[in-house]
Amino acid sequence: MTTGTKNGTVRLQHDAMHYIRFGRGQKVLVMLPGLGDGLTTVKGTALPMAFMYRAYARDYTVYMFSRRNHLPEGYSTRDMARDLAEAMDALGIEKADLVGVSMGGMISQHFAVDYPEKVGKLVLVVTSSSPNPLLTESVNEWVGHAQRGDHTAFMDSNVRRMYSDAYYRKNKWLVPIMGRLTKPRSYERFFIQADACLTHDASDRLAQITAPTLVIGGEQDHVLGAAPSREIADAIPDAKLKMYANQGHALYEEAKDFNQVVLDFLRSP
């Protein structure tokens, strides 16, 4: 499980970026997290992430990248894709399979178009090609709580929208504790990434994606809904679609077969 585990920082031309690495497979898998990176980067998380995604460690050397350390106002998901390409070059990663979750999927859409030579297979999980009304409502709700400094309300909204109703009912007693323990010193990084979500638009570029693609969505997604996954799958040539009938936005944590579904696709001819 801990084979090849590393917490690292890669130097970019004008900045730096935190990343983690685990596994010793011959192939490379890059995973991009969602908007939660605006609150907590991947720094120091190599061991728990290696455990959560241990199923990939035999086939792959897995990298998970945060956004760069200093994000200017107006920084876009396409800018973040450019940073990822620079980080991969700096680490000597010529080509990788790519799994993008939520906002990470937004970045992955631009990356697959702008750097097709760097992408083997592409997996887009609970993501959207542009903000719909539900996604806009969700992000603005989180931004509002953050602007008021009410992190308990922020976490309650996050858990309620991200997870299944059953998970929320079972675990909502933890929300006040999470609110106290996870409040960041500053929301600045979150605000910039939230704005990037709200201005993301790759809808007219999806047809240019040439990598074999799997799109995964949840019918009970309270963050952005189920429709965006279908729209992406329809727009990307020959994309495959997997919809979970009883899962929401956090299906990558709640669906017991999620990692196997992804691996089956990545291993397929």
Cα(220)–Cα(54) distance, integer angstroms: 27
pLDDT at 194 exceeding the cut of 60: yes
pLDDT tens digits along 135-176: 999 999 999 999 999 999 999 999 999 999 899 999 999 999
pLDDT at 1 exceeding the cut of 70: no
Per-residue model confidence (pLDDT) at position 2: 58
pLDDT tens digits along 8-51: 999 999 999 999 999 999 999 999 999 999 999 999 999 999 99
Domain count for the chain, please give it.
1
Question: Count of H helices and E strands in the chain?
Answer: 11, 8
**50 — alpha (psi -120 to 50), left (phi > 0) or beta?**
alpha
8 A C-beta contact, residue 223 and residue 138: yes
Within a domain: 103: yes
Q: What is the DSSP string of 190-252?
A: HHHHHHHHHH---TTTGGG--S-EEEEEETT-TTT-SHHHHHHHHHSTT-EEEEETT--TTHH
Within a domain: 94: yes
pLDDT mean over 255-267 = 97
Q: Which helix (H) or strand (E) holds 22?
A: strand 16-22
Cα(96)–Cα(134) distance, integer angstroms: 32
pLDDT tens digits along 167-180: 999 999 999 998 88
Within a domain: 196: no
Q: What is the CATH number of the domain that holds 97?
A: 3.40.50.1820
Range of the domain at 47: 6-130+202-267
In whole numbers, what is the pLDDT of the chain averaged over residues? Answer: 96
Per-residue model confidence (pLDDT) at position 190: 97
Within a domain: 221: yes
Per-residue model confidence (pLDDT) at position 31: 98
CB contact set of 226 (below 8 Å; sequence gap of 6+): 217, 218, 219, 220, 243
Cα(257)–Cα(44) distance, integer angstroms: 26
pLDDT at 242 exceeding the cut of 60: yes
Within a domain: 147: no
Within a domain: 167: no
Q: Which helix (H) or strand (E) holds 11?
A: strand 6-11
pLDDT tens digits along 45-100: 999 999 999 999 999 999 999 999 999 999 999 999 999 999 999 999 999 999 99
Residue 122 forms beta bridges with which residues?
Answer: 98, 213
Within a domain: 152: no
Per-residue model confidence (pLDDT) at position 4: 81
Q: Where are the beta strands (DSSP E) in 84-207?
A: 96-101, 119-125
Q: Give me the percent of the chain exceeding a pLDDT of 70.
A: 99
Phi, psi dihedrals of residue 257, rounded to the nearest 5°: -100, 10
Per-residue model confidence (pLDDT) at position 178: 87
In this prediction the pTM is 0.96
Q: State the angle between helix axes of 133-147 and 188-199 in degrees (0 to 180), rounded to the nearest 10.
A: 160
Within a domain: 64: yes
